[in-house]
Copies of this chain bind each other. A is one copy, B any other.
Amino acid sequence: MPGPLDDLLIIDLSRVLAGPYATMLLSDLGARVIKVERPGVGDDSRAIGPFLGDQSAYFASINRGKQSIALDLKLPEDRSVFEALLARADVLVENYRPGVLRKLGYGWETLSARYPRLIVAAVSGFGQTGPDAKKAAYDMVVQAMGGIMSVTGWPGGPPTRVGTSVGDITAGLFTVTGILAAVHDRARPGPQQGRGQLVDVSMLDGQIAILENAIARYAVTGESPGPLGARHGSITPFAAFACADGHVVIAAGNDALWAALAKALDLPPDPRFASNPSRTAHWQAVAAAIEAVLVHHPVAHWLAVLDKAGVPVGQIQNIEQALNHPQVRARNMVIETAFPDGTPLLAAGNPVKLSGHDDPAVRPAAPALDGDRAAILRELGL
């Protein structure tokens, strides 16, 4: 499929989510991705639901447009195939526990010596270095250890996981960044010209990297912020507010937007509400003043009123509402792909819209396990 990366060949040993999410994005941007899977079982996520019949929708949505060959990296004949692929590849993506590939004879130093142009992207729970490098992690472990669970949820309430696998997905996105930075570095004049490098991304590192305001708060006060429910810690009002029949989210990120909100709701003047720092110090009073007005009308009323006033406002949409929202549809963010057997599957589109390339509404199917063996072997002359 044409795209800005359609000259890149990615060999993908990764499984489940962080690595496959990275290569999905690269594939959506035109790169050719060949999944190298374990014979017989394949990517673990083929066994993770939701299922349609015996096919995983989870696997299919993340692996659309990729090819698959099953190789046992302990068998000499399969190693030859793998090495022929590496000789042609731009990037190898893997998410084994650190050390596993080295035991197979494919450590970074070996790969770099043999395939100098090869970029190796290793995404792991804790990274290739440090005392915990060899421990296993999944999304939820790094959400817990990285601090995001400590700032998500309600004060005094039970521990709360972010409802999407933000530990995997952010690691996947940092991996894409590292790969594309290394591709650039390899192409331009300089010490790395013509050479690949190791991109080492840790899911735990990724969680630290997205904490933003919580770290700034700790850095200044020496205190760890707790969960804030549905509001922002430094901007007020920036929260969910109760209306007659549900909640709206209002985000007045600067004084002009606050003025527009106060006018639209006809809030009484209050010197405590004069600046964002003062509103944040008095966030409970701000919320009480807003909800005293909102509670008299339903969500739909306030969406219309505040939208007209130019105040950022939104409804808390469920998945069906989100996927059917006219703006989401207009942006081609709900696309059609297919299970390995060709059954159509609805999936999220590619959020990177580029003026130089099409943004297809239909993406090729996810591969059957080993489904591209014959074509790949033929292409390699094996």
Contacts and interface: CB of A to CB of B under 8 A. Distances in A.
A229 B152 CA distance: 11
Interface stretch (A78-86, A286-294, A322-330): A322-330
Interface string A61-97: 1100000000000000000000000000000000000
B127 A331 contact: yes
A263 to B, nearest CB: 16
Interface in A34-84: 44, 47-52, 57-58, 60-62
Interface stretch (A99-107, A132-140, A372-380): A132-140
A220 B227 CA distance: 33
Nearest to A214: B319
A3 B184 CA distance: 11
A198 B108 contact: no
A130 B331 contact: yes
A360 interface: no
Q: Which of A171, A178, A215 has the most CB of B within 10 A?
A: A215
Nearest to A52: B220
A301 interface: no
27 contacts: A29-B181, A47-B277, A48-B235, A125-B312, A130-B326, A136-B310, A136-B311, A138-B235, A144-B249, A146-B322, A147-B318, A147-B323, A150-B318, A150-B322, A152-B160, A158-B229, A158-B230, A159-B240, A164-B210, A170-B170, A173-B173, A184-B187, A197-B356, A200-B355, A208-B322, A211-B322, A224-B318
Name the 7 nearest CB pairs between A and B, nearest first: A151-B163, A130-B330, A138-B251, A147-B322, A180-B180, A4-B185, A198-B355
Nearest to A307: B135
